[in-house]
Amino acid sequence: MRNLQILLVLLLLPVIALAQTKVNASEIIAKINRGEAVSYKNAEIVGDLDMTRLKNMKLKNQKSDSKYNSKEYISTVTAPLNFVNCTFKGNVMAYFNPDNGANMLNSSNEVYNTNFTREVNFENCIFERESAFKYSEFEGGASFAGSRFSDEALFKYSKFRGAINFNNARFRGDANFKYVTFPVKVSFAGATFGGEANFKYAKFDEGVNFQKAVFDGTANFKYAKISDSFNIRGANFKGGDDFKYTKLNNRQVSLTTLLEMSR
C-alpha cells in the first residue's frame, strides 16, 4: 500500500508543478510600490493589474485653456518584472484615459501612463482581457515572447530602448504598434496576427524579423521606415496589406518587392 501511495504522488507531481497558483493583482502592486522585484511563474493573476496609479505617481504635464483642460500623470515601475507562464484574468494596464481621449468642450481630460526603468518580461503568458502599454517607456529589455493577447495589444507610441522580443506571440485582436520607434533589432518571428498588425509610421532603426509570421488580418506598414533588414522569409500574408510609402534603407518598397528579396 505504501509503495502504491508513493507511486501516486510521483505521478501527480507533474500536474502539481503545472498547476497555477492564484495571486491577487493587489499583492503585485504592493510589491511594485515597495520597489521590490516581481517574479511569478505558473501563476493566475486575479483582478486588474493597474500600474497607472502607483505611489510615486507625478503630474508631468498640465495644459489648460478656456475650453479644455488636460493632465498627464506618470507612474514608474523601478524594479524588474518577470512573469513566466502566467494567466492574467483581468486587465493589464500601463495606460488609462477615463475620458477615452474625447476632446469635448469644457472637458477635463486626465491621462495616466506608466514607465519601466528595469527589465520587463511577460513570457508565455496569457492576457485574457485588455493589455495597454500606450506611451510607456521601457528603459530595460522587454520580452513578450510566446504570449497570447486575447484583446487588442496596445503599444501605440511606446518607447523601447533595450532588447525587444515578440517571438511566437499570438495576437487574437489588433496589435497596435503605430508610431513606435524600435532603436534595436526587434523580432516577431513566428508571431500570429489575428487582427490588424498596425505598424503605421513605425521606425525600425536596426531591422526587424517577421520570419514565418502569419498575418490573418491587415498588415499595415504604411509610412513605416526600416533600416538594415526586413526579414519576412516564410511569412504568410493571408489578409490585406498596406505598404504605401514604406521605406527600406531609404528606398520605397512594396510587399511584392520584399517577398522577392526574402527568397
The pLDDT tens digits for 80-91 are 999 999 999 999
The mean pLDDT of the chain is 90
In a domain, 15, yes or no: no
Residue 206 has pLDDT above 90, yes or no: yes
Distance, in Å, from the CA atom of 43 to the CA atom of 121, rounded to the nearest integer, reads 14
Confidence of residue 109 (pLDDT cuts 50, 70, 90): confident
DSSP structural state of residue 141:
-
Distance, in Å, from the CA atom of 135 to the CA atom of 130, rounded to the nearest integer, reads 15
| CA quadruple 248, 132, 143, 173: dihedral, nearest 10 | -70
> Could you tell me the residue range of the domain that residue 256 belongs to?
23-262
Q: For residues 91 and 129, is the Cβ–Cβ distance under 8 A?
A: yes
Distance, in Å, from the CA atom of 196 to the CA atom of 154, rounded to the nearest integer, reads 12
In a domain, 13, yes or no: no
pLDDT value of residue 150:
97
In a domain, 1, yes or no: no
In a domain, 4, yes or no: no
**Mean pLDDT of the region 22-45:** 98
pLDDT value of residue 6:
45
Question: Considering its fold, how many domains does the chain have in total?
Answer: 1
In a domain, 71, yes or no: yes
Residue 104 has pLDDT above 60, yes or no: no
In a domain, 6, yes or no: no
**Burial zone of 44 (CB within 10 Å; 0-12 exposed, 13-18 middle, 19+ buried):** middle
In a domain, 154, yes or no: yes
Residue 53 sits at φ, ψ, to 5 deg, of: -135, 60
In a domain, 61, yes or no: yes
- Collapsing DSSP to helix, strand or coil, 47 comes out as coil
Residue 21 has pLDDT above 70, yes or no: yes
Considering the chain, what percentage of its residues have pLDDT values greater than 70?
87
